[in-house]
Structure formats: C-alpha cells, structure tokens
Structure 1
Amino acid sequence: MFKRILVPTDGSDITSHAVDTAISLAKIHGAQLLTLSVMEPFPYSAVSEIQPVPPQEFIDAQLRVATQRVEAVCATAAAQGLSCRAHTVEALHAWEAIIDHAKAEGVDLIVMASHGRKGFAALLLGSEAQKVLTHVELPVLIVK
C-alpha cells in the first residue's frame, strides 16, 4: 500500500518510537524509508556582530547535529535490513520543511512523533505534528 515513507527526526526519545514504527511499516509494505532532520537557520539580527556564536560555527553545528540524527535513523533501519535515504534541510518552520520534502520526494505516508523537543512552547504554539496534520493532504501517522 505505501511505497515511500518519511520519518522526520529531531533526535528526541519519542521520535525513536516513530522511527521504529516507520521501519516496521516500511518492512511490511516493502516501502522505501526516508528520514529528514530540519536545521534552524542562523538567528540574524541587527546586532549580529555581538552574536555569541559566529554564523558559520552555528551553521556547522546545526549540520553536524542534523546529520547525526538522520544517520542514527538509517543505522537503526540498516540493523533491521532496511535501506534508508537521509536528508537534512534548513528551514524557519520544521512543519513546512517536512511537507515540502514529502511532496518533493513523492512520499505517500509521513510517520512522526506526537511532539518533540519544543516542550512548553509546543503547548502554546501548537506542535509541529499538529501543523503538519493541518496543512498536508498526505496520510500522517502520529506516534505517541
């Protein structure tokens, strides 16, 4: 039924449950597994000269962490005999990046955690999962 499954990751514990679910579904359906980690853009401001971290150092750190996250998903998949394609992308809003990536890759299912690292702010602003559900026309499986 599903041919391409996307599992976004932020490296949180709850995301690991979504990864396990996505891997199981991909194996059952013979689907291709894709994973995505969204990096935050550098917080440029009018006083960027006094930023505690230089822009390139910030960008390099974001890329390093995002790469580690998607590599961990692919390693988990590989341990279960499943190949995985990993992607990282920089975006202001993770939910938009997830939807855009799903459309660009022809994904027919998104498997994601009910919440991630955003904590209390997610309660006030709405979780990334909720925003994906609100704006995407693809099936989405939310894992708690």
Structure 2
Amino acid sequence: MFRHILIPTDGSIEGARAVRIAVDLARVCGATVLAMHATVPFRGGRMAAAMAMAEVAYDFDLIAQAEHCVDAVRRLASEAGVVCETRIAYSGHPAQAIVETQRECGCDLIVMGRRSGPHMLGTSLGANVVRVLRESSVPVMICP
C-alpha cells in the first residue's frame, strides 16, 4: 500500500503518538520512513555583536533539538525493523518544508500529530497541519 512514509516530528506528545503509528504502519506495509524536523531560523537582526552571538546559540539549540527529534524516530524504527532516513529542514514555514520534503523524496504518505488546545485557529488541528492538508498531493494521516 504505502512504500515511503514521511514523519514530520517536533518532539511533542502529539508527535510521539503519530511517530508510533507511522512506524507500526511502515512495519506492516514493508515501507521505509523519513523522519524530518523543520526548524525556524533565528529572526533577530544581524547588526549587533550581541545579536550575532544570540543567533549562534539559538541555531545550536535548534540543531540539537532537531537531532534529538529525528534520532528518537530512528531508534523506534530500528527497534521495529523499519528502515529510517532522517532530514532536518531549515525554513521559516514548517508546513512548506514538510510538503517540499514529501515532493523531493517521493513519499506517498505523511503522518502527523495534531496539536490540541483552545488556541489553534478555532480548530483542533493547528496551522501547520491545516496548511499541509491543503498543499499536499499525497494522503495525510492526522493522529490525535
């Protein structure tokens, strides 16, 4: 059914559930998975030395967080006997990075967790999930 599943992950509780479901689905289908994390680059000014130092520290933290997120997926996939690739995307728009990664890598399914809470655009999905749903050319599985 599915051969290459994209798993965008942010390390959240909602994302962790989606990761487990995606890895289980990949195991059953004999699919590979691509774990990705989209990071938002530093948006501060580049004029002052203090801002430059803040940018370096911010980027270092982002890279560490991104690596932690995709490594968690890689470990879970390995335990399940599923082949897992990883990718870290640097983008001001995570949803755009997800859709672009899906297209570039030929993934035939995207599995995402949804954010819950009262501040999610009047929906229970979240802005990134809504945008991926609108722009994706492949099925998107949303895990509550």
TM over 0.5: yes
Question: 1:41 and 1:48, CA in 2 relative to 1: closer, same or farther beyond 3 A?
Answer: farther
Does the residue aligned with 1:24 lie in a helix, a strand or coil? helix
* TM-score where L is the length of structure 1: 0.89
Aligned to 2:104: 104
Tell me how far apart the structure 2 counterparts of residues 80 and 110 of structure 1 sit (CA, whole Å): 19
Match of 1:17 in 2: 17
Counterpart residue number, 1:122: 120
> Take 1:113 and 1:139, find their aligned partners in 2: how far apart are those partners?
14
- Runs of 4+ displaced beyond 6 Å: none
Q: Percent identity, aligned pairs only?
A: 30
Matches of 2:45 and 2:96 in 1, distance apart? 23
- Which amino acid counterpart does residue 6 of structure 1 have in structure 2? L
The RMSD of aligned alpha carbons is 2.2
For 2:42, the equivalent position in structure 1 comes to 42
Amino acid across the alignment from 1:3: R
2:54 matched residue in structure 1: 54
Residue pair 2:33, 2:85 contacting (<8 A) in 1 also? yes
| Distance change >3 Å, CA 47–CA 122, structure 1 → 2 | farther
In structure 2, relative to structure 1, the CA distance for the partners of 1:101 and 1:48 (3 Å cut) is farther
Q: Are positions 1:2 and 2:2 aligned together?
A: yes
Matched AA of 2:91: A
Q: Which runs of 5+ in 1 are unaligned?
A: none
Contiguous gaps of at least 5 residues in structure 2? none
Distance 2:119 2:14 in 1: 17
Specify the alignment match of 2:32 in structure 1.
32
Partner-residue secondary structure (3-state), 1:123:
coil
Are the counterparts in 1 of residues 111 and 143 from structure 2 also a CA contact under 8 Å?
yes
Task: Report the more deviating stretch, 88-97 or 42-51.
Answer: 42-51
TM-score by length of 2: 0.89
